[in-house]
Structure 1
Amino acid sequence: MSWVGPRPKWIFTFCAVIVALAYILPLSRLTQATHGLRFKDRPATDGGRPNGVIFMLLPPSRVQQATLALRNVEDRFNRRLKYPYVLFMVEGEYEQVTELERERIDHITEGRAQFAQVPKSEWDVPATLDQSLVEASIHNIGFSHGYRAMCRFYSGFFWKHPALKSYDWLWRLDTDIEFHCDIPYDPIERVIQSKALYGFIQVADDVEWVQPSLASNVSAFMASLQQDPSQNLDSKPPISFPEDANHEFVWRGPNGVAKALRGEAGNDEWTKRCMYNNFEISHRSIWESELYNRFFEFLDRAGGA
């Protein structure tokens, strides 16, 4: 399974995560007390560092690339910090990794890396989706099934995996990363010192043709939170956006925000802003929040973006 290609977006677009975080994040930055998100970390490790883990998702074809990335991470900072690694592979693919490749990774990471399998149930296209629409999306927009499945895994499942359950701080890296200088500090510790729960690379404008219905679906979700609780068809307790939700990160001006809250916004109101998260440090309380999970479930039922 190859994931090689341009930055992908699809019917399960990972941009959903970015939109959700824009609503969870306040206007400045997400702090420990913001919005009632749980921030009660488990005790620090024996070495005193935060309870964190570095993880990657890779196909068998990228094991060599991942090995080079791990060596770079170790050389630049993690041989000192000693964060553990979890290397995710889709169920049934781990067997394609040779014994020599496993030994090399074990040697580079000083035994701190483990492989974990992503269940097919969290990877394959859900049976509830119209398969013809999925194929049409691939034909019209492009990008492989594998890359699209990766986007969905990072949107709705990775933090629930047993291999990550014991960690509070989740540090995602891709197989093609490279640090060009030594890092004399602990990046996770820096996030904590800033009283933030999420760190990313940069913000840039996105394009709508790869996610044509994302904005309208997000607006529909926002409107669903404003409705009369007695009309709640999900039979779930009411939930609302935080008072300091950064709506104008996503929508163009007060008029765009107002239309979004009414469920009337679309691509014309969307700012197209996107956080790049190939290098992402997050606290699991973000992903476990009721608001985020409601949002993911809403988009998943709608067929994605």
Structure 2
Amino acid sequence: MAAFAARSSHSAWGLVRRYRIFLGIIATVLIFHLCFINMRPKPKHLLARTVQDVVQFNDVRTPPGYNATRLPAKAAFVVLTRNSELHPLRVAISQIEDRFNRHRGYPYIFLNDEPFTEEFKETISWATNSRVSFGLVPRDHWDLPDHIDRQRMRDGMAFLKSKDVIHSDSLSYRQMSRYYAGFFHKHPLLEDLDYYWRIEYDAEYTCDIDYDPFVYMRERAIKYGFTITLHEFFDTVKSLWSSAQNFMTTYPHYLEEKNTLDWISSDGGNSYNLCHFWTNFEVLDLAFLRSERYDKFFQHVDQAGGIFYERWGDAPIRSVAVSMFLRKEETHWFEDVGYTHTAFQNCPASPELQKKCHCDPGRSIHLNDFSCTREWVQLPPSKA
């Protein structure tokens, strides 16, 4: 019995040793595997860091017989979207086609921070007979900048979440806002354009547009067009105005002499009244965004970090820039363009225009005190 016990003990110890050796081999394999994964070349879309790097990813699909040189203006619809937004985006594009573009043929440019799927590209192409282009956003235009304090950003997100502010803790919303505020117009797919029209996947176009807004703006030297204005949530832009004031003090020569700062400040420039153009719909002259003064202003607010710390949106940033740099005559309210996005809509009241619409003018946001459009209309002309 003693010998049997000794043999059993020895046998058990041998099993333990073999088990430990086996675990050691497994651990070694796992470590090697992880190291190998980290050493493998990254997918090209993860390495794209600059504008030049993403050019190879651009996919332009031109239908037979399409001729962009016949277009009245060098313009396009631009959509920053995700693969998951494919089907609601088809609805918005079908509406803008029915209401306007099927008679015009302006192209579409789709941008994404991840590569578009073949399903997305093929399916979205069915919604229009125009040229469609698919581009990848450069990583250095999208990723969190190095100068941002991560902990401060998380603290700011938590504060807004405690206030139940929309998009309070969304990093992707902040990345989107930064991209629209300062980078989208630098994408290679837009380099030959003079004008752009922003499209959102859940927007609705409720009136026929029987003229060309791009040509309308060009003929009247209009730089910026909008449909809806709103008041921003104070907690999301608490320090935006102080940053703008600092910019105006540092670069007074960039200010338009006949600016519209009275629209965004009701007390002579002491504070921001939170009015802004809702950039979900905007038609603009890209030369404005490419100008030195706009680029300087964006760099200024980007370095301040408020996009990530407080959730400054591209709408208030753009609105402050428009108010500083443009005259009233260079900014236009497209009152006749029926547009609905989420709970807000622009709907013309004129009976003549209503013949071309399917919206309720009594629900147009400009009649609501949450809008700033009436204050915009009441601004005196710059030429007066």
Q: 1:217 Cα shift?
A: 1.1
* Inter-partner Cα distance in structure 1 for 2:69 and 2:303: 43
* Inter-partner Cα distance in structure 1 for 2:106 and 2:247: 37
Q: Give the unaligned 5+ runs of structure 1.
A: 1-43, 227-238, 258-264
User: 2:256 matched to which residue of 1?
Assistant: 242
Structure 1 runs, 4 residues or longer, greater than 3 Å off? none
Q: Does 1:58 align with 2:81?
A: yes
Letter in 2 for 1:250: I
User: 2:272 matched to which residue of 1?
Assistant: 270
User: 2:70 matched to which residue of 1?
Assistant: 47
Any idea what SS the aligned residue of 1:56 has? strand
Q: 1:291 Cα shift?
A: 1.3
Q: How does 1:178-193 map to 2 (within 5 A)?
A: 178-193=204-219
Any idea what SS the aligned residue of 1:46 has? helix
* Residues 1:108 and 1:208: Cα distance change in structure 2 (over 3 Å): same
Q: 1:48 Cα shift?
A: 4.5
Q: Taking every aligned residue pair, what percent have the same amino acid on both sides?
A: 30
CA contact (8 A) 2:83 2:120 kept: no
Any idea what SS the aligned residue of 2:111 has? strand
Selected match of 1:175 from 190, 195, 201: 201
Structure with higher Rg: it is: 2
Letter in 2 for 1:128: H
Indicate the larger mover: 181-190 or 169-178: 181-190
Greater RCO, CA 8 A, separation 6+: 1
Q: How does 1:156-305 map to 2 (within 5 A)?
A: 156-226=182-252, 239-253=253-267, 256-257=268-269, 265=270, 269-304=271-306, 305=312
TM-score norm. by structure 2 comes to 0.58
Any idea what SS the aligned residue of 1:174 has? coil
Q: 1:132 Cα shift?
A: 0.8
User: 1:72 matched to which residue of 2?
Assistant: 95
* Inter-partner Cα distance in structure 2 for 1:72 and 1:242: 37
* Inter-partner Cα distance in structure 2 for 1:62 and 1:79: 22
* Residues 1:130 and 1:202: Cα distance change in structure 2 (over 3 Å): same
Letter in 2 for 1:85: Y
* Inter-partner Cα distance in structure 1 for 2:106 and 2:71: 11
The alignment's C-alpha RMSD in Å is 1.9
* Inter-partner Cα distance in structure 2 for 1:103 and 1:285: 32
* Inter-partner Cα distance in structure 2 for 1:147 and 1:184: 34
TM-score norm. by structure 1 comes to 0.72
Q: 1:107 Cα shift?
A: 2.4
- Over residues 252-297 of structure 1, what are the superposed CA-to-partner deviations in whole Å (9 max), with x where a residue is unaligned? 23xx33xxxxxxx4xxx22221111211111111101111111111
Any idea what SS the aligned residue of 2:79 has? strand
CA contact (8 A) 1:203 1:273 kept: yes
Indicate the larger mover: 240-249 or 117-126: 240-249
Any idea what SS the aligned residue of 1:163 has? helix
* Inter-partner Cα distance in structure 2 for 1:240 and 1:89: 33
Q: 1:191 Cα shift?
A: 2.1
Structure with a larger share of its residues in helix: 2
User: 1:138 matched to which residue of 2?
Assistant: 157
Q: How many matched pairs?
A: 234
Q: How does 1:12-161 map to 2 (within 5 A)?
A: 46-90=69-113, 92-94=114-116, 97=117, 99-110=118-129, 112-141=131-160, 142-161=168-187
* Inter-partner Cα distance in structure 2 for 1:114 and 1:138: 35
